[in-house]
Amino acid sequence: MTLSGLDIGIVVAYLAAIFVLAQWVSREKAGHTKDAKDYFLASKSLPWWAIGASLIAANISAEQIIGMSGSGYAIGLAIASYEWMAAATLLIVGKWFLPVFLRNGIYTMPQFLEQRYGTRIRTLMAVFWLGLYVFVNVTSILWLGAIAVSQVTGMDQMLAVVLIGVFALLYQLYGGLKAVALTDIVQVSLLVLGGLLVAGLTLSELGEGAGVVAGFHKLWAAQPGHFEMILDKDNPFYKDLPGLSVLIGGMWIMNISYWGFNQYIIQRALAAKDIGEAQKGVLFAAFLKLLMPVIVVLPGIAAVMLAPGLDKPDQAYPTMMRLLPTGILGLVFAALVAAIVASLASKINSVATIFTLDFYAKGKRQHDEARLVRVGRIAAVVTVLLGILAAKPLLGSFDQAFQYIQEYTGFFTPGIVVIFMLGLFWKRANEAGALAAAIGSFALSIVLKLAWPALPFIDRVGLVFLLALVLAVVVSLATAHAPEKDVIRTDDVDYRTGTSFNIGAVAVLGILAALYTLFW
């Protein structure tokens, strides 16, 4: 498959326009020099629509579109639980987590840990997040994005890795988070439009002239096993998505860690004008998450009938793009590039934020704001360089890269959730207990994986969470309480939410109940 001149023109026009827009929204008023708050937190001025769109743009990228379509091809609609349960998780984040973070003026997640527990846990987790973002998140976006680009254009895959990395770097290098967040409404609009076009055209192809609805019913009738949200034990992919454990077990831990305590996600909400805008933003994102399986999973399921026998499941989405006519292909390809660039730029900016504010600035008594911004830009360049060099060695041999990402992060997420949940809601928790949970989470995960290899990793995540929770509580109670280290204020936090948030939350939960009832 090759792009026509019209398709190439559409893609080039998009890239040029979004680059110019990013620089334009990043401009500063005459006489004002960009400082750390401007660069890393978009001047603490983001409106709700930018927050919601940017949350989705940061989340939905190559590992979602390519990876989850691949899992849709292999497993089916059950993989959509990652998307639909995220919608419910966002409501929890908006109501109970954000009020504490914004009340205490938090910029980074390691900063919260230091103000709540002490310096050692901040350093430990900052190192962990830097490693995770660079060697798991950045590399996966580069590699899976390059798969799509190379299959659509015929470009060498490593050349595609380099071009994607360089463009995403330059796109956000000057403006930082403001360049990313204030253009993400355009990116997400194009992503949704492009994704719906792919889903609609693949279903129309299955409908053979009878329309999208007929195509969907034909697909559902022909592949009923691919429309089961709750997998039975005899399903070959039960180990990836173990039945009811998905709804009541470890996936909650994965989602709470990702949406509540993940720097490149929560950073958008931390940059809100106020708590009301932040909560409306996460509610907007929750509604968008309900739509995502149509975009990122359904094309992969359709590929089971339209392109059986693919060498690798991750080829499903690029293969479905071959069905698109000239012009539409260019638009959809631009949407895919939009998702890749927006998400990659978010990760780059968050790596720069953590490195600059949690490492470089910690050793300085006086902060030169211009130097902090400069250090952040250098960190961004190094991040992209490392990602390009590590992408193929780390991800080149995986059939379902999305599952690889979940498996790897599952070693650490139980401890992360324990540390933050106790830090938010139990004042007796101390740094010794937090360190025990962090180290114990990784150690227990390795032990269980080796000693009980048949245990599904989501079940392992849930079990390790409970064990790490007990460990953190016991160690905290057995060691000295150090209230002087805890400067996080929760006594005056108002957890009440507005009428619009409450009505929207009920609507999201009602839609989720209907979806799981329909596809049980």
In this structure, which topology does domain 5-27+44-397 adopt according to CATH?
Sodium/glucose cotransporter (1.20.1730)
pLDDT higher than threshold 70 for residue 86: yes
Q: Domain segments of the chain: what residues?
A: 5-27+44-397
Q: How many residues does the chain have?
A: 520
At position 138, the amino acid (one-letter code) is V
Residue 26: band (very low, low, confident or very high) from pLDDT cuts 50, 70, 90 = confident
Distance, CA of 319 to chain centre: 24
CA–CA dist 338, 393 (Å, integer): 25
Q: What pLDDT was estimated at residue 65?
A: 83
For the entire predicted model, the pTM comes to: 0.91
User: Do residues 391 and 55 lie in contact, with contact meaning Cβ atoms separated by under 8 Å?
Assistant: no
CA–CA dist 323, 310 (Å, integer): 15
Cα separation values, 436 from 73, 378, 440, Å: 40, 34, 6
Q: What is the mean pLDDT of residues 229-237?
A: 90
Q: What pLDDT was estimated at residue 239?
A: 86
Residue 406: band (very low, low, confident or very high) from pLDDT cuts 50, 70, 90 = low
Residue 209: band (very low, low, confident or very high) from pLDDT cuts 50, 70, 90 = confident
CA–CA dist 411, 464 (Å, integer): 9
CA–CA dist 67, 520 (Å, integer): 23
Residue 402: band (very low, low, confident or very high) from pLDDT cuts 50, 70, 90 = low
User: Do residues 240 and 456 lie in contact, with contact meaning Cβ atoms separated by under 8 Å?
Assistant: yes
Residue 42: band (very low, low, confident or very high) from pLDDT cuts 50, 70, 90 = confident
Q: Between 45 and 97, where is the model more confident? A: 97
User: Do residues 413 and 444 lie in contact, with contact meaning Cβ atoms separated by under 8 Å?
Assistant: no
Q: What is the pLDDT of residues 119-151, one digit of tens each?
A: 999 999 999 899 989 988 899 889 878 877 887
User: Do residues 440 and 468 lie in contact, with contact meaning Cβ atoms separated by under 8 Å?
Assistant: yes
User: Do residues 330 and 347 lie in contact, with contact meaning Cβ atoms separated by under 8 Å?
Assistant: no
Q: What pLDDT was estimated at residue 353?
A: 93
Q: What pLDDT was estimated at residue 405?
A: 66
Q: What is the pLDDT of residues 407-452, one digit of tens each?
A: 677 788 999 999 999 999 999 999 999 999 999 999 999 999 999 9
At position 95, the amino acid (one-letter code) is K
The first and second tokens of residue 156, run together, are 């060498």
The first and second tokens of residue 468, run together, are 């790490």
CA–CA dist 105, 118 (Å, integer): 17
Burial class of residue 287, CB neighbours in 10 A (0-12, 13-18, 19+): middle
Cα separation values, 334 from 59, 331, 510, Å: 17, 5, 34
Q: What pLDDT was estimated at residue 30?
A: 67
The per-residue DSSP string of 287-299 comes to HHHHHHHHHHTHH
Mark out the alpha helices in 356-456 (DSSP H runs): 369-395, 401-409, 413-425, 431-451
